[in-house]
Amino acid sequence: MTRVDLHTHSTVSDGSFSPEEVVRMAAEVGLSAVSLTDHDNIGGVEAALKAGKREGIQVVPGVEISAEFPHGTCHILGYFFDLGDKTFREKLAYLQEARANRNPKIAEKLRALGIDITYEEVREIAGSEQVGRPHFARVLMDKGVVKDFNEAFERYLGKDKAAYVDKFRYSPDEAFQMIRRAGGVPVLAHPYTLNLSDEALTDSIESWVPLGLQGMEVFYPDHTEEMIDCYSRIADSFGLVKTGGSDFHGNNKEGSTLGDCGPLGCPPLDVLDRLRWRLS
Ligand SMILES: [Zn+2]
Ligand SMILES: [Zn+2]
């Protein structure tokens, strides 16, 4: 069976491999298609598309936009948008700026907690990568402040934890619209991070479908079979495309393996046709 992984990160956001490397590895593990979905950034897509031609694997232009959501993390994936769309690029640039402004503040908060850390150290470990929270986690591990990534996020870096710093986000509605206006297809990423009951999730989806939501990431490493079952039913009841991905970050996130989309595996290749039908 030919499978696709529609959720991966490169050094353009907080992954540890370059866009070219991610695509080459996707071809090596036997995927038929892969989408690079860096956080608020499409800077790696062109390189990924070129690598796809070289490696003989289909590459889907992608992005993962962080949207405002009161009680949880709301990430919206966008696929097949027009890479040259100026408004789309400007809106993403604004988010990247917000992201960059937040990093020195995280370092300040950690220092205020008595941890000996500077932003320079974090920048150094990130190298050419865009600095993100996984880099802070690595420094905290290297310094022996925490034993692993999970502890770093649980104690310090996760939402509302001790060194968490909020940043500007668009509303889900704005995220759907900016993707639609750039000719793309918006998909809700890993629904469990919204922290909603099944009923509340259904209500949110119901309000988002008229605003342009076209799909839901049903297949995901952190989803149990029961969750996949539940999300499939919700997606089917609203006619949403059921997508999936590994959320591969290379060495920057434990437990993410390229081509591993959870207990029921990655979605089949024809999910791309279903996404393309939503373009018009
Ligand atoms: Zn995400
Ligand atoms: Zn992701």
Measured in Å, residue 64 CA sits from the centre of ligand 1 at 7
Domains in the chain: ranges and CATH: 4-83+172-277 (3.20.20.140), 93-157 (1.10.150.650)
- Within 13 Å of residue 167, how many CA atoms lie on the same side as its CB? 23
Band (255; pLDDT cuts 50, 70, 90): confident
> What does the pLDDT look like over 1-51, one tens digit per residue?
699 999 999 999 889 899 999 999 999 999 999 999 999 999 999 999 999
CA of 54 to the centre of ligand 2 (A): 25
Instruction: Name the band, by pLDDT with cuts 50, 70 and 90, for residue 280.
Output: low
Q: Could you tell me the distance, in angstroms and rounded to a whole number, from the CA of residue 14 to the centre of ligand 2?
A: 9
**Closest ligand to residue 10's CA:** 2
pLDDT digits over 131-183, tens only? Answer: 889 999 999 999 999 999 999 999 999 988 999 998 899 999 999 999 999 99
Ligand 1 centroid from CA 84, angstroms: 24
At 77, which helix (H) or strand (E)?
strand 74-79
d(CA 201, ligand 2 centre) in Å? 20
pTM (2 decimals)?
Answer: 0.89
The letter for the amino acid at 150 is N
Percent of residues, the chain, with pLDDT higher than 90:
86
193: CA distance to ligand 1 center in Å?
8
Confidence of residue 100 (pLDDT cuts 50, 70, 90): confident
Distance 142 CA to ligand 1 centre (A): 25
DSSP 146: S
Ligand 1 center from residue 37 Cα (angstroms): 9
* Of residues 245, 278, 277, the one with CA closest to residue 260: 245
Tell me the residues surrounding ligand 1 (ion) with CB < 5 Å.
75, 189
The secondary structure element, H or E, covering residue 97 is helix 86-112
Q: What are residue 33's DSSP bridge partners?
A: 4, 58
Ligand nearest to the CA of 159: 1
Question: Which ligand is closest in space to the CA of residue 193?
Answer: 1
Supply the DSSP string of 170-196, one letter for each residue.
Answer: B-HHHHHHHHHHTT-EEEE--GGGG--
79, 111, 234 from 237: Cα distances, Å: 22, 49, 5
In 3D space, the residue among 268, 220, 269, 249 whose CA is nearest the CA of residue 8 turns out to be: 249
Q: How far apart are the first and last CA of the chain?
A: 28
Ligand whose nearest atom lies closest to the CA of 189: 1
**207: which residues sit within 8 A by CB, 6+ positions away?**
none
Quick check: helix, strand or coil at residue 235? helix
Give the DSSP H or E segment for 215. Answer: strand 215-219
36: helix, coil or strand?
strand
Query: Residues 90, 191: contact at Cβ < 8 Å?
Result: no
d(CA 126, CA 120): 10
Amino acid at 239: G
